[in-house]
Amino acid sequence: MSEPVLFYFDFSSPYGYFAAVKIDELVGGFGRTVTWKPMMLGVAMKETGNRPLADQPLKGEYCKRDWDRLARHMKVAWRMPTPFPIATLAAARAFYWLDDKDPGLAKRFARATFDTYFGNGRDITAPETVADIAAPLGVDRAALLAAVQDPAVKERLKQETAEALRRGVFGSPFFVVDGEPIWGSDRLWMVKHWLREGGW
């Protein structure tokens, strides 16, 4: 039995959102599964010395234009959120808390979170907003609000982010396929190639 493909992302990453729309169907076509791994991209940026795209002269403006045209090209909902970028601690902690109970539910929650932030442009920083997103999926609001403040859940996200860095993850989205690192929503063709050929 093959290991799942790892899909690392930050909920505040537009390119993570674009990859999230496609990755499960792509990987599923090869009879493989995907494990979603939200992380704190800011921690990785401290390691690499990078800054958020939106803060970079020239590159920030370019990326905003790119997100808009990519969304039109892919025919997915897109609305530039404000504020952007944000700290996605509450969403990422809620994800891992749900993932331990039901990975399918955690993925549905993750997709709904991306849709809220980048599809509707609604700020997802506040735990209350994260609870709003999860409630229609049958998640108890009070339990979620308690979970995102639970020291064990906080620690879990820290550990997952540290594990990501150990695997060499420095951006979002970032895939690990049978140990092979593949970075960027532009590189889904490479994930496909690996799954088909097993290497280069």
| Interacting residue ranges for a second copy, rule: CB under 8 A | 44, 47-51, 56-59, 61-62, 65-66, 69, 72-73, 165, 168-171, 181, 183-184, 186-187, 193, 200
The pair of three-digit structure tokens given for residue 65, joined into one six-digit string = 């234009």
Q: Of the two residues 8 and 97, which places its CB atom closer to a second copy in the complex? A: 8
What sign for the dihedral angle of Cα 126, 95, 55, 48? positive
Instruction: Please report, as a single letter, which amino acid is at residue 120.
Output: N
Q: Of the two residues 63 and 87, which places its CB atom closer to a second copy in the complex? A: 63
Least distance CB 35 / a second copy (angstroms): 20
Q: Of the two residues 47 and 150, which places its CB atom closer to a second copy in the complex? A: 47
Least distance CB 132 / a second copy (angstroms): 32
Least distance CB 96 / a second copy (angstroms): 23
Exposure b/e, 147-169, CB count within 10 A at least 16 = b: bbeeeebeebbeebbeebbeeeb
CB 157 within 8 A of CB 91: no
Count of other CB atoms within 10 angstroms of residue 78: 20
Least distance CB 24 / a second copy (angstroms): 22
Say how far apart CA 119 and CA 113 lie, in whole Å: 9
Q: At what angle do helices 14-28 and 103-114 cross, to 10 degrees?
A: 140
Say how far apart CA 61 and CA 71 lie, in whole Å: 16
Say how far apart CA 45 and CA 52 lie, in whole Å: 8
Least distance CB 5 / a second copy (angstroms): 17
Least distance CB 109 / a second copy (angstroms): 28
Q: Of the two residues 59 and 79, which places its CB atom closer to a second copy in the complex? A: 59
Q: Of the two residues 102 and 170, which places its CB atom closer to a second copy in the complex? A: 170
138: which DSSP letter? T
Q: Of the two residues 82 and 200, which places its CB atom closer to a second copy in the complex? A: 200
